[in-house]
Amino acid sequence: GAQAGFGRPAPLPQTGWERLSELWQRDEQQQFPEETVNIAKSAFTAGVVGWLYGGLPAFVSARKAFIESSHGEIFQNRADAVQSAHRAGLRSFIRYGWRWSWRVTAFATVFNVVSTGLSAYRDKTTISNFAAAGAFTGALFRMHLGLQGLVGGVVFGTAFGVPAGGLLMAMYGLAGETLQEKRSRERRELYEQRLAEWQSRLSMTEILGQTENNAQGRPEMERAREL
């Protein structure tokens, strides 16, 4: 009864599916795990990088093309001509920047979700996780081109995943532990702390119960002596 009342801490996840589902659950502070937050940060960063990668060359090219093709046009003044050229470049920046942005964001997000999920499921972080994530992501983005595109996507994704994984593993090596190892350590330390607190409260409850029983038993013993 005391165990049920105080609520023994939930045991640590034992299976890969339990560790995987834990990635999408908030903690007591209503915060997602660090791995999940990193996925969102990487998606945002990839979107910005993709937009700049596709938008800046398009801006320069469109502005240059506008200037070359507008020699015969009449503008009110030099400022009007410059603004018209900038507007032409800005339209191309938005158009082509968006095209690259969502593609790079989707690729990075799928790659990070798969690699993070594999690390959580296997309870270890290895380069093979990143290679598999790259192969899956590349195949997913090229499968609409048929078998040849599917194979090419696997090759490209693997070629991307291996060096990316190697770079991350090198960064983890400098940090001393991977995110998965850090999460496992923090999860174990938190469980041990909660278990110790639960056992302490349970012992205190038993002591209070014994004290109360002894206090109730003394008047009965005194009445029995009087009789």
Distant-in-sequence, close-in-space partners of 103: CB < 8 Å, separation ≥ 6: 50, 141
What the block records as the tokens of 25 is 């659950």
Question: Cα(first)–Cα(last) distance of the chain, in Å?
Answer: 37
> Could you tell me which of 51, 26, 151 has the C-alpha nearest to residue 104?
51
- Res. 102: pLDDT tops 90: yes
Tell me the one-letter amino acid at 161. Answer: G
- What is the residue-averaged pLDDT of the chain? 81
- Res. 13: pLDDT tops 90: no
Other beta carbons within 10 angstroms of residue 57's beta carbon come to 15
- Res. 53: pLDDT tops 60: yes
pLDDT range class, residue 3, cuts 50, 70, 90: very low
d(CA 125, CA 104) in angstroms, rounded, equals 24
- Res. 5: pLDDT tops 50: no
d(CA 52, CA 94) in angstroms, rounded, equals 10
d(CA 12, CA 192) in angstroms, rounded, equals 10
- Res. 2: pLDDT tops 50: no
DSSP for residue 27: -
Please provide the DSSP assignment of 62-92 as one string. HHHHHHHH-TT---SSHHHHHHHHHHHHHHH
Residue 132 CA: distances (Å) to CA of 17, 33, 127, 129, 164: 18, 23, 9, 5, 12
pTM (2 d.p.): 0.74
